[in-house]
Amino acid sequence: MTGKIDLNTMVAKVLCPDIVFEGIMTILTRFDTGKCRQFLSLMACLFTLCLLWPGTAMAHRVNVFAWVEGDTVHTESKFSGGRLVNGGEVRVYDLKGNELLSGKTNAQGEFSFKIPQKTAMKIVLQAGMGHRGEWTIPLSEIDPQQSASEPSASQEEQKKTSETETVKPSVDLDQLRHALEQSLDKRLSPVLKRLAEAQDKGPTFRDILGGIGYILGLLGLAAYMHFRRRSRDLEAEKKGR
């Protein structure tokens, strides 16, 4: 996913800036009568170079994502754009703000730990220099039994009364529930991961083009104002004659 550059991103990163700048250059040469054309082509080259810069990722924001699997919490940290956080500091707090534990992400941006105690947890990632991400794990995710037992309390009582008749169904049920939770955790974790990834895509190419488009629009507006003023001046001159 990261590290390798597939064809699509190659095209997006290398060709498109060229196309954009070529376009801007052509428009601008109309205004500046070819004066700063060479300067602009230099800028275009520069940008292509910069975008080719090895390791360049559109990383800006940082995200941490955590999921529970059995008694272990896995976390994964990424800059937006997909670059993994290597050696970022992960701190785990309970909701009162007490620090439970801390650690560092490995080269894959992952950090896993055993659940220290059964509370809701806030996982804070410090990727240095003010880059900070947070993820909260609610209690229901860490201890599904606890939150599940409350509404089904009356059911349990019912079971207890019927226990004399049937052969220990509650134990089987608990085991079943546990197994179910585990397999669901396992199955859902990639889905949750995908979901977290989908939530934050860095600036897309559309955003970049949009921004440049706005700047060109402003340029057009300035040109319009200028020429309107000039034509008005010319008209006034004619009338004066």
Partner 1 sequence: MACLVGDAALLLPNKKRDIMHISEGVLSGPVLISGIVLAATGTAIGLKKLNYDRIPRAAILSAAFFVASLIHVPIGPSSVHLILNGIVGLILGWGAFPVILVALTLQAVFFQFGGITTLGVNTVIMAFPAVLCYYLFGRLVGKGPRIALPAAFLCGSLSVFLAGILVGLALTFTEENFLKAAYLVVMAHIPVMIIEGIITAFCVLFLKKVQPEMLPGKIP
Three-class HEC string of 14-69: HHHHHHHHHHHHHHHHHHHCCCCHHHHHHHHHHHHHHHHCCCCCCCCCEEEEEEEE
Which residue among 9, 56, 149, 166 contacts partner 1 (CB under 8 A)? 56
Of 146-185, which residues contact partner 1 (CB under 8 A)? 181, 184
> By C-beta, is 94 or 181 nearer to partner 1?
181
> By C-beta, is 100 or 212 nearer to partner 1?
212
Of 92-151, which residues contact partner 1 (CB under 8 A)? 105, 127-136, 138, 140-141
Which residue among 76, 83, 92, 121 contacts partner 1 (CB under 8 A)? 83
Of 4-43, which residues contact partner 1 (CB under 8 A)? 17, 24, 28, 31-32, 35-36, 38-40, 42-43
The letter for the amino acid at 12 is A
- Tell me the site size for partner 1, rule CB under 8 A: 71
CB 80 within 8 A of CB 59: yes
| Cβ neighbours, 10 Å, residue 31 | 12
> SS3 of 134, please?
strand
Torsions phi, psi for 77 (to 5 deg)? -125, 135
Of 176-235, which residues contact partner 1 (CB under 8 A)? 181, 184, 188, 191-192, 195-196, 199-200, 202-203, 207-208, 210-212, 214-216, 218-219, 222-223, 226
| Cβ neighbours, 10 Å, residue 214 | 10
